[in-house]
Chain A
Amino acid sequence: MDTAALQNSWAIVAKSGDEVPLFFYSHLFLSHPELREMFPISMSAQRDKLVGALGRIVSNVDQLDDVTPFIQQLGRDHRRFSVVAEHYSKVGASLLATLRHFLGPAWTEELAADWAAAYGLVAKVMVQAAEMAAESSPAWWTADVLSIERRTIDVAVVQVRPQQPFTFVPGQSVAFETPLRPRLWRYFSPANAPREDNTIEFHVQIVDGGQVSGAIVRAMQPGDTVRLGPPIGDDLVRSPGDQRDLIMIAGGTGLAPLRAVLEQADREWQAEGRAPQIHLFHGARVPWNLYESELLAQLTTRPWFAYTAVVSDDSSFPGARGLVGSVAARSMQWQGRSAMICGSPQMVTSTVSELTSAGMPSDDIRFEKFANADGNGLHPPLEAARSGDQS
Chain B
Amino acid sequence: MTEITPLPGAVRKSPRAVRYATFSQRRRGWDQDEVREFLASVADDIQAADNERAALRAEVDRLRNTPRDAGGPGGGAEERTEINAHAVALFSQAQQVADRLVAEAVQHARDLMVNARAQQREILQQAQQAADAAEAAARNEMASHPEAGDGHQHHPPIPEVEYVRTFAHVAQVQLRSVLDALTEQVDKLGELPRLENGGAPHMPPYAPNQPSDRPYAGPPPPHLEVPWQLEARPRRPQAG
Contacts and interface: CB of A to CB of B under 8 A. Distances in A.
Does chain A bind chain B? yes
Interface of A: 22-23, 25-27, 29-31, 33-34, 36-37, 41-44, 93-94, 96-97, 100-101, 105, 107-109, 112, 116, 146-150, 153, 159, 180-181, 184, 192, 195, 197, 199, 201, 206, 208-212, 214-215, 217-219, 221-222, 263, 266, 269-274, 295, 298-299, 301, 303, 313-316, 391
A146 B225 CA distance: 11
Most buried by B among A195, A208, A221: A208
B239 interface: yes
A70 to B, nearest CB: 26
A26 B92 contact: yes
20 contacts: A30-B83, A33-B197, A101-B85, A108-B72, A109-B72, A150-B214, A150-B217, A150-B218, A153-B176, A180-B210, A197-B225, A208-B109, A214-B186, A218-B183, A222-B221, A269-B238, A270-B232, A303-B238, A314-B124, A316-B128
B80 interface: no
B230 interface: yes
Nearest to A201: B227
B114 interface: yes
Contact of A272 (B111, B179, B184, B236): B236
A100 B69 contact: yes
A209 B117 CA distance: 13
- Interface size class for chain B? 35 or more
Contact of A27 (B88, B198, B207, B231): B88
Contacts of A100: 69-71
Interface of B: 67-73, 83, 85, 87-89, 91-92, 95-96, 98-99, 102-103, 106-111, 113-114, 117, 121, 124-125, 128, 175-176, 179-180, 183-184, 186-187, 189-190, 192, 194-195, 197-198, 207, 210-211, 213-214, 216-218, 220-221, 224-225, 227-228, 230-239
B225 A43 contact: no
Contact of B187 (A29, A214, A301): A214
B83 A219 contact: no
A29 B91 CA distance: 9
Given A43-B95, A208-B110, A218-B187, A266 B121 contact: no
Contacts of B211: 219, 221
B69 A211 contact: no
Contacts of B103: 42, 44
